[in-house]
């Protein structure tokens, strides 16, 4: 979340509007709820205009311009845009609530300490895979947690190969989450823009790809000659694994709930994930009320500081629906690429994400444009190839470009430059991973389309 005061009439109004949007997203099947939710989102954005970053203001400007164009040329697309906007905004707000409530857990400190134990290779893989696991429920909170541990090592023992490798592992670990996490906005948006693609199909191929991405990172680390810096108490025996087991249980319950609601339950995947996460939020909130002192209370976090997230996620979802409608109308329902064109485009999709990330474009924007334009014209039987191209490019961009939110967060906490991390530490690994992701996307597209 962006930093802004969370008290005062204006802040309370913005927070209330965000919670209203969340409620409307949950009740999006009720007639009129999508319009109310979209209106609440826009009003919350306008009230928080001073907090918006440049890219968020540009997206909002595009949203207004495209809405006016749709009002004249394709009015029916506005309702599709409102539904997309409300549903995906509800998802990101729910995930942020989940992250905030889990961030209060004492388990996080113990989990962080265990990540730095063991030999160099074991320690690197622990940090990398540990960050990926934590990012499923915590989102950006995982980067903050692990980066704080790295910063503590740097303060006590100075710059070292261990700290630099841990920073590499943190960025790559978070970068793997958009590729394979069933709760990530990338997977949800991909399945939303490619209706013929099921989340389990996508994850069946993207999870092994993410594992290869993380393991191959071992080849792109520094040699550690220093002894492991001690100073953090680490639990032993069963106590060492209990925090991990509790976190994995929460993740497992959310994932099972999402799959059940989207499969036998028949709900859209974005709504299934939202409801599953919201159930976990309710349980954690009640647990906090029961376990915390009565005079302290356990209020829900303020949603006043989420203006940028509302624009980037909600606005991009709205734009995606409009672009899809315009693409079908302008290109024509019968438009198609040559047979060889689909594998070539699939191979290039990850590079489009990475190039956009290198100039500061958020992957959500690129994903919206890619899904909105290519989704309607892609062969239905080969959407898995396009989906792999989108989520692999999204993940590599998140982990290997200097303007991603997690890179900037790591820079602020640890002091290690995001540019150095992107250009010196991760560039070769990113290029190799882009080649692998693009080749897999192209191969799947060619095989399934033929």
Distance CA 279, CA 290 (A): 17
Q: Tell me: the pLDDT tens digits for 67-113?
A: 998 888 888 888 888 888 888 888 888 888 887 777 677 776 677 66
| Banded pLDDT at 433 (limits 50, 70, 90) | very high
**Residue 9 confidence (pLDDT):** 83
Mean predicted confidence (pLDDT) in 5-24: 84
Average pLDDT, rounded, for the chain = 84
Q: How many residues does the chain have?
A: 450
pLDDT at position 202 over 90: yes
Measured between alpha carbons, how far is residue 283 from residues 191, 325, 430 in Å?
A: 27, 40, 39
**Residue 299 confidence (pLDDT):** 66
Of the ranges 185-189, 285-289, 371-375, which one carries the lowest mean pLDDT score?
Answer: 285-289
Look at residues 422, 426, 413 and name the one whose alpha carbon lies nearest to residue 153: 413
| Banded pLDDT at 2 (limits 50, 70, 90) | very low
Q: Tell me: the pLDDT tens digits for 107-123?
A: 766 776 677 767 888 88
CB atoms within 10 A of CB 378: 25
Of the ranges 17-26, 111-120, 132-141, 190-199, which one carries the lowest mean pLDDT score?
Answer: 111-120
Under 8 Å between Cβ of 355 and 142 = no
Percent over 90 (pLDDT), the chain: 32
Mean predicted confidence (pLDDT) in 29-55: 88
Distance CA 35, CA 82 (A): 6
pLDDT at position 179 over 80: yes
Cα 36–40–394 angle (5° rounding)?
105
**Residue 297 confidence (pLDDT):** 52
Of the ranges 193-197, 317-321, 351-355, 441-445, which one carries the lowest mean pLDDT score?
Answer: 317-321
Distance CA 92, CA 185 (A): 7
Mean predicted confidence (pLDDT) in 190-207: 90
Identity of the highest mean pLDDT range in 55-69, 194-208, 249-263: 194-208
- 415-430 burial string, b = 16+ CB within 10 Å, else e? ebebeebbeebbeebb
**Residue 332 confidence (pLDDT):** 64
Distance CA 328, CA 118 (A): 55
Of the ranges 157-171, 307-321, 379-393, which one carries the lowest mean pLDDT score?
Answer: 307-321
């Amino acid at each position: 979340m962006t930093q802004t005061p969370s008290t005062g009439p204006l802040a309370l109004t913005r927070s209330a509007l965000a919670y209203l949007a969340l409620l409307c997203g949950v009740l999006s099947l009720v007639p009129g709820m999508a319009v109310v939710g979209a209106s609440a989102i826009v009003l919350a954005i306008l009230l928080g205009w001073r907090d918006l970053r440049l890219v968020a203001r540009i997206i909002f400007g595009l949203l207004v311009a495209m809405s006016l164009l749709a009002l004249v040329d394709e009015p029916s697309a506005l309702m599709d845009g409102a539904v997309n906007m409300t549903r995906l905004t509800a998802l990101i707000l729910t995930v942020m609530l989940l992250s905030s409530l889990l961030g209060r857990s004492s388990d996080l400190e113990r989990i962080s300490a265990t990540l730095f134990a063991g030999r160099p290779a074991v320690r690197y893989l622990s940090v990398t895979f540990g960050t990926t696991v934590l990012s499923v429920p915590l989102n950006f909170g995982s980067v903050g947690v692990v980066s704080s541990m790295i910063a503590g090592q740097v303060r006590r023992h100075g710059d070292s190969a261990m700290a630099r490798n841990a920073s590499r592992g943190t960025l790559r670990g978070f970068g793997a989450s958009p590729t394979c996490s069933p709760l990530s906005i990338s997977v949800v948006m991909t399945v939303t823009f490619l209706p013929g693609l099921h989340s389990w199909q996508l994850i069946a191929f993207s999870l092994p790809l993410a594992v290869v991405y993380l393991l191959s990172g071992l080849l792109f680390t520094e040699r550690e000659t220093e002894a492991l810096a001690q100073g953090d108490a680490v639990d032993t025996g069963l106590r060492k694994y209990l925090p991990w087991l509790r976190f994995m249980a929460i993740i497992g319950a959310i994932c099972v709930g999402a799959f059940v609601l989207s499969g036998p339950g028949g709900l859209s995947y974005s709504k299934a994930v939202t409801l599953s996460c919201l159930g976990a939020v309710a349980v954690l909130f009640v647990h906090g009320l029961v376990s915390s002192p009565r005079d302290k209370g356990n209020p829900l976090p303020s949603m006043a500081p989420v203006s940028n997230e509302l624009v980037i996620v909600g606005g991009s979802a709205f734009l995606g629906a409009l672009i899809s409608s315009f693409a079908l109308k302008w290109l024509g329902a019968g438009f198609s690429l040559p047979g060889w064109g689909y594998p070539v485009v699939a191979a290039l999709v990850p590079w489009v994400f990475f190039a956009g990330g290198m100039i500061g474009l958020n992957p959500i924007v690129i994903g919206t444009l890619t899904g909105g334009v290519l989704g309607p014209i892609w062969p239905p039987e080969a959407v898995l190839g396009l989906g792999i191209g989108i989520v692999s490019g999204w993940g590599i961009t998140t982990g290997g470009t200097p303007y991603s939110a997690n890179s900037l967060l790591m820079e602020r906490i640890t002091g290690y430059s995001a540019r150095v991390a992107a250009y010196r530490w991760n560039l070769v690994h990113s290029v190799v991973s882009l080649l692998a992701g693009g080749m897999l996307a192209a191969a799947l597209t060619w095989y399934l389309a033929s």
